[in-house]
């Protein structure tokens, strides 16, 4: 197969050697204009990854970036493209296994370029040669059982969860399992 793509009922084949593109990744690649769009041709097969919230995701590398898609959970079927300077910085930080976790938004464009991630955002402005990461504010949330006042010397159970503030997410507060409040 030469440069281009061939659509089938359950996916598309593209590149040489042929790479299969399916599901939410195919939907995003279609919206981006296939091989002539922002992602380019696929350069690898899709692989499964798991978010810290145990929500299934997959990713597929393309010539100009990587498309991440949620395969289960409340946002199943949603996908994001990470590319250019933002992808370079994200990869250097450790990608999905870093404190930034997985992407939650496509890059915004305008004066500056910015992509939101589970643990913050990465951006760059005009003329920048590298993107900068901005970790989300993390503050502990403590709860105790029993909920009534704990008397000195008595037993209690304390649970700690992190709440993340996300600049570019669809909602601002995330609980211990990553669900919007």
The per-residue pLDDT for 73 is 79
Spatial separation of the C-alpha atoms in residues 59 and 17, rounded to whole Å: 18
Lowest mean pLDDT among 1-5, 42-46, 131-135: 1-5
Phi, psi of 71 (to 5 degrees): -105, -10
| β-bridge mates for residue 83, sequence order | 65
pLDDT tens-digit readout, 120-165: 999 999 999 999 999 987 665 555 555 566 666 666 555 544 444 4
pLDDT tens-digit readout, 61-94: 999 999 999 888 777 889 999 999 999 999 999 9
């Amino acid at each position: 197969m030469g440069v281009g793509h061939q659509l089938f009922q359950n996916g598309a084949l593209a590149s040489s050697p042929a790479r299969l593109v399916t599901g939410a990744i195919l939907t995003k690649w279609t919206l981006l204009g296939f091989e002539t769009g922002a992602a380019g041709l696929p350069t690898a097969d899709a692989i499964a990854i798991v978010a810290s919230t145990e929500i299934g995701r997959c990713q597929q590398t393309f010539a100009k970036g990587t498309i991440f898609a949620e395969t289960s959970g409340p946002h199943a079927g949603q996908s994001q493209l990470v590319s250019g300077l933002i992808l370079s910085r994200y990869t250097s930080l450790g990608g999905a296994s870093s404190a930034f976790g997985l992407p939650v938004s496509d890059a915004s464009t305008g004066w500056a370029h910015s992509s939101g991630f589970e643990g913050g955002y990465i951006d760059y402005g005009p003329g920048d040669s590298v993107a900068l990461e901005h970790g989300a504010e993390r503050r502990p949330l403590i709860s105790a059982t029993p909920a009534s006042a704990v008397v000195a010397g008595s037993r209690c159970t304390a649970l700690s969860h992190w709440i993340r503030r996300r600049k570019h997410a669809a909602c601002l507060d995330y609980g211990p399992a990553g669900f919007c409040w």
